[in-house]
Amino acid sequence: MATLIAPSNHSPAEDAEAIRKAVKGWGADEKAIISILGHRNASQRTQIREAYQNLFQEDLIKRLESELSGDFERAMYRWIWEPAEREALLANLALKSADKNYQVIVEISCVLSPEELFVVRRAYHNKYKRSLEEDVAANTTGHLRQLLVGLVSSFRYGGSEVNAKLAESEADALHEAIKNKNKSNGEIIRILTTRSKTQLVATFNRYRDGHGIAITKKLSDEGSDEFHKAANLAISCINDRKKYYEKVLRNAIEGVGTDEEALTRVIVTRAEKDLKEIKEVYYKRNSVHLEHAVAKETSGDYKKFLLTLMGKED
């Protein structure tokens, strides 16, 4: 369930006016911006952008970019887009980043439904005048490339049918392929990038039952290169996405310093989807409420914005 609290009716023109008031003059009234945009869903935000453009002949996003700064600006910049455009943006940023963090590519292609992924690919065409798979392919090599291109190009069958025999045979095939140390990665890639999600979950279960070890554990035992890491991420996302997101959040918050990029990404992309369930999983795992942990690790407008998206009432 979503954690975002948004009114059922709003006036885009009024909102645009109010935001205009908040950004005019010296400095910006971040509180006002958060209280409006932090309580609007995707279609409402799009309407506000349109109203703002019509009323003031200016792109709201560009205005916010110039008026805000730091982690708050980055969070707001990601929040204001429609989901598909946002995912396309995140994918492109990941491909351009220096540390070549492809976790985002795996996450987008494995968490979204096949239809949602296609809308993202379309948004990517419009934004960047290239296809997503073309950019992923041009920025990666070898088995990692084949895996990532396969994942972003997939249009999995979305039904709930499971072929138990196939699950068993492919669980065995995966086991053999993993043991074969990089000589059979083609089989791993084929299964992970083409089978339906329900079929894969059945396969992963068969794997554990049949071989006494979780497939993710086996994969990480056999190799820690980029390919194995990415394959593991894909399996985690497909198997249990809430658990996956809990781990991303936990890693972002724990330890020295906070990974704001990851924290922002999870909260902004899931606030309208299943952040409520993710919060519950987080609490179960860490005995601390997510809001509490975020409040401890962040500050200022950035903190206020994240908490608003998580459903905190003033």
Annotated binding site for Ca(2+): 25, 27, 67, 253, 257, 295, 297-298
260 with 281: CB under 8 angstroms? no
**CB nearer to other proteins: pick between 76 and 112:** 112
The residue type found at 260 is E
CB of 153 to other proteins, least distance (A): 3
CB of 143 to other proteins, least distance (A): 9
Q: Does 185 bind other proteins (CB under 8 A)?
A: no
CB of 98 to other proteins, least distance (A): 21
Q: How far apart are CA 295 and CA 290, in angstroms?
A: 8
Q: Does 156 bind other proteins (CB under 8 A)?
A: yes
HSE (side-chain half, CA atoms, 13 Å) at 113: 6
Q: Does 176 bind other proteins (CB under 8 A)?
A: no
> Which residues have a Cβ under 8 Å from the Cβ of 30 and sit 6 or more positions away?
22, 68, 72, 301, 304
> Which residues have a Cβ under 8 Å from the Cβ of 72 and sit 6 or more positions away?
30, 300, 301, 302, 305
**CB nearer to other proteins: pick between 145 and 289:** 145
Q: How far apart are CA 80 and CA 33, in angstroms?
A: 11
Among residues 97, 157, 285, 288, the one that binds other proteins under rule CB under 8 A: 157
Among residues 2, 6, 93, 137, the one that binds other proteins under rule CB under 8 A: 137
253 with 235: CB under 8 angstroms? no
Q: Does 133 bind other proteins (CB under 8 A)?
A: yes
**CB nearer to other proteins: pick between 141 and 251:** 141
Q: How far apart are CA 82 and CA 79, in angstroms?
A: 8
User: Can you give the binding site for other proteins, defined by CB under 8 A?
Assistant: 114, 118, 121-122, 125, 129-134, 137-138, 141-142, 145-146, 149-150, 153-159, 161, 186, 190, 193-196
